[in-house]
């Protein structure tokens, strides 16, 4: 793989989903009824309702904007106003002030039967709290004469409403628009609509400051740059443009063309870590700090790509673990899976700790030291359970097959077709590594971190259970006999004869993990962490090379790994 290919590896999937737009509107309407019945808006439960309503409103507004011009402008305007009302209430800590005219317009909305939505990653995975932007803006020394807020869809829709609400609460005139840059992820571009260009002109005449809001900036920073430079082309001075990412970027690591030089032309202010965490969450275990409590030696540490990890904390008495699982309905979905796992003896009981965090008991124990027949039977039993408990409607595997094919070409130079049939569609575990298992005091094998990764923004997403079987084989470095024992046990327990579809899943899994390790190694600065990623990359590369040496993968499935 050449250096120029390092950032062309595929690890993030397109998590877009098609939803029933009218059902989404009904859910938002029900939330509004609940909000209007709440008396105290200074407590956490009421804030939870406001955040859920804000997420739902932002999703709906974003979905409508993305299917424009199929949606009447009346619906756009109404949803924008409604999102603003919820944001004003959240920022101000009061009940939503819904004018009767807006309420009437809301109930007359024309919503398409289907909308395409993307998950707001910061709210789902990265402990981004909507009110974090208020904390950031509170640190500003001076307020502008007017604020023109540009949100980058998807999550920028919701964040732009919060930023505009903060300015309005302080008497600063504030309006907002949302945009979606297009093009290659590492070199986005943006062209404003005629209506947006007029909006920009009006705010230039007001000598407004322009605030560009989104999470990220991610690997490239190109979306922020696309919007800022498009504003410049409309006559906005660079010094009037303020970038508000969700984290302080390492400009030297951004991979958009001339990213650092371009970025420095504008003001930018990144968020600090959220203060909205459970009261009992005292010891930070995020960014790989958990390894200090699990492993006796740093030599045993697995690599951690810190910005991709969920935030997690330990209580002062070391008995409770708090983990960010997502705000609103996103976190509820993860907790539901965790509850099912706990009910069936695969994990600890979980409860809602508010502000997107879940709480469970800290499990004392140790990772398995070796592979035994009993361990393999337990691993097979877990996969069989998961195939039954977390079944998912069958989805196209085209993107997953493309991921495998491209990563194989760009990592080991192999050009081979990969076929990934789906017979047992499931939300996979996707974390079958030995360090994700724990032997607890009563000698039971418990699965950690099992509820959230199967449908996050990394590959694979919903897929065949063969992904987890392949992951078990690769991560535990099973030999032919061990592999055969695992697969045979799974097939006996589940009735799913999956041997014939496993070979290409082994390729796809290994190709993804190799791409992940190489991408992470390029992103981190710490030399020890780089070495860990390269060590793991070597393991996956060797596994791929062994798999590729088999001329007939299906026939040789249970040969030596």
Give the pLDDT of the chain (561 residues) as one tens digit per residue.
444 455 589 999 988 889 999 999 999 999 988 888 887 887 778 899 999 999 999 999 999 999 866 566 767 889 999 999 999 999 999 989 988 999 899 888 888 889 999 999 999 999 999 999 999 999 998 889 999 999 999 999 999 999 999 999 999 999 999 999 999 888 999 999 999 999 999 999 999 999 999 999 988 999 999 999 999 999 999 999 999 999 998 898 888 999 999 999 999 999 998 999 999 999 999 999 999 998 889 999 999 999 899 999 999 999 999 999 999 999 999 999 999 999 999 999 999 999 999 999 999 888 898 999 999 999 999 999 999 999 998 788 999 999 999 999 999 999 999 999 999 999 999 999 999 999 998 889 999 999 999 999 999 999 999 999 999 999 999 988 999 999 999 999 999 999 999 999 999 999 999 999 999 999 898 999 999 999 999 999 999 999 988 744 444 454 454
Return d(Cα 472, Cα 470) in angstroms, integer: 5
Distance CA(198)–CA(8), nearest Å, equals 37
Burial 413-439 (b: 16+ CB within 10 A, else e): ebeeebebebebbbbbbbbbbbbbbbb
Contacts of 308 (CB under 8 A, 6+ apart): 125, 458, 520
Query: Residue 548's closest CA among 435, 412, 437, 447?
Result: 412
First to last CA, the chain: 24
Tokens of 554: 């299906």
Chain CA centroid to CA 494, Å? 31
Which single residue is written with the structure tokens 């987890």? Answer: 468
What is the C-alpha separation between 153 and 62, in angstroms, rounded?
A: 7
Contact 440, 400 (CB under 8 A): no
User: What contacts 452, CB < 8 A, 6 or more positions away?
Assistant: 125, 310, 325, 326, 334, 337
Looking at domain 373-548, its CATH architecture is: Alpha-Beta Complex (3.90)
Write down the pLDDT at residue 393: 86
Which strand ranges, in their side-by-side order, compose the sheet holding 174-179? Answer: 174-179, 147-152, 209-213, 241-244, 267-268
C-alpha span between 171 and 97 (Å, rounded)? 17
Q: What is the CATH number of domain 120-276?
A: 3.40.50
Could you tell me which residues come within 8 angstroms of residue 117 by beta carbon, excluding any fewer than 6 positions away? 16, 17, 18, 19, 59, 62, 63, 154
Helix (H) / strand (E) element for 183: namely none
Alpha-carbon span 551 to 546, nearest angstrom: 11
Model pLDDT, residue 158:
98
> What is the three-class DSSP state of 217?
coil
The residue among 215, 225, 220, 278 whose CA lies nearest residue 250 is: 220
Integer Cα distance of 470 and 459 in angstroms: 14
Q: Where are the domains of the chain?
A: 17-117, 120-276, 283-361, 373-548
Question: Residue 359: what pLDDT?
Answer: 98
Residue 72: predicted pLDDT: 60
Q: d(Cα 122, Cα 326) in Å, to the nearest integer?
A: 8
Q: pLDDT value at position 552?
A: 46
């Amino acid at each position: 793989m050449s250096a120029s290919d390092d950032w062309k590896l595929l690890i993030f999937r397109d998590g877009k989903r098609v939803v029933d737009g009218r059902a989404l509107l009904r859910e938002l309407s029900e939330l509004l009824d609940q909000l209007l019945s709440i008396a105290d808006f200074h407590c956490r439960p009421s804030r939870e309702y406001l955040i859920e309503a804000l997420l739902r409103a932002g999703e709906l507004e974003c979905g409508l904007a993305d299917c424009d011009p199929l949606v009447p402008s009346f619906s756009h305007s109404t949803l924008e106003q409604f999102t603003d009302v919820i944001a004003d209430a959240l920022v101000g800590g009061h009940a939503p002030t819904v004018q009767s005219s807006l309420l009437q317009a809301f109930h007359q909305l024309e919503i398409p039967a289907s909308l395409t939505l993307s998950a707001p990653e910061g709210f789902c995975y990265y402990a981004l709290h909507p009110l974090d932007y208020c904390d950031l803006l509170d640190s500003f020394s001076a307020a502008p004469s007017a604020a023109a807020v540009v949100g980058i869809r998807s999550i920028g829709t919701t964040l732009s409403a919060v930023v505009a609400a903060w300015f309005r609460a302080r008497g600063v005139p504030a309006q907002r628009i949302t945009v979606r840059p297009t093009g290659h992820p590492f070199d986005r571009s943006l062209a404003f609509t005629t209506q947006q260009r007029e909006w920009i002109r009006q705010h230039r005449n007001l000598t407004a400051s322009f605030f560009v809001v989104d999470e990220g900036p991610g690997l490239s920073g190109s979306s922020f740059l696309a919007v800022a430079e498009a504003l410049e082309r409309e006559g906005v001075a660079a010094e009037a443009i303020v970038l508000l990412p969700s984290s302080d970027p390492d400009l030297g690591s951004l991979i958009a063309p001339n990213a650092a030089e371009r970025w420095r032309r504008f003001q930018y202010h990144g968020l600090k870590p959220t203060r909205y965490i459970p009261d009992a969450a005292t010891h930070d275990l995020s960014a790989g700090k958990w390894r200090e409590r699990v492993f006796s030696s740093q030599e045993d540490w697995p690599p951690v790509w810190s910005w991709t990890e969920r935030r997690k904390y330990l209580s002062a008495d070391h008995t409770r673990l708090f983990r960010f699982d997502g705000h609103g309905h996103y976190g509820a979905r993860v907790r539901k899976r965790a509850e099912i796992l706990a009910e069936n003896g695969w994990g600890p009981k979980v409860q809602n700790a508010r502000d997107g965090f879940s709480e469970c008991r800290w499990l004392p124990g140790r990772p398995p030291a070796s592979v035994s027949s009993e361990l393999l039977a337990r691993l097979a039993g877990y996969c069989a359970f998961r195939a039954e408990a977390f079944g998912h409607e069958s989805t196209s595997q085209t993107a997953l097959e493309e991921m495998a094919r491209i990563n194989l070409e760009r990592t080991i130079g192999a050009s081979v077709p990969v076929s990934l049939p789906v017979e047992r569609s499931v939300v996979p575990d996707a974390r079958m590594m030995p360090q994700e298992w724990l032997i607890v005091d009563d000698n039971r094998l418990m699965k950690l971190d099992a509820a959230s990764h199967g449908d996050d923004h990394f590959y694979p997403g919903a897929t065949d259970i063969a992904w987890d079987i392949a992951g078990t084989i690769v991560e535990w470095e099973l030999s032919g006999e061990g592999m055969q024992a695992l697969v045979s046990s799974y097939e006996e327990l589940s009735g799913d004869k999956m041997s014939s579809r496993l070979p290409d899943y082994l390729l796809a899994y290994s190709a993804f993990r190799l791409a992940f390790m190489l991408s992470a190694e390029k992103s981190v600065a710490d030399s020890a962490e780089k070495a860990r990623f390269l060590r793991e990359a070597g393991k996956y590369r060797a596994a791929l090379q062994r798999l590729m040496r088999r001329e007939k993968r299906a026939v040789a499935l249970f040969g030596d790994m």
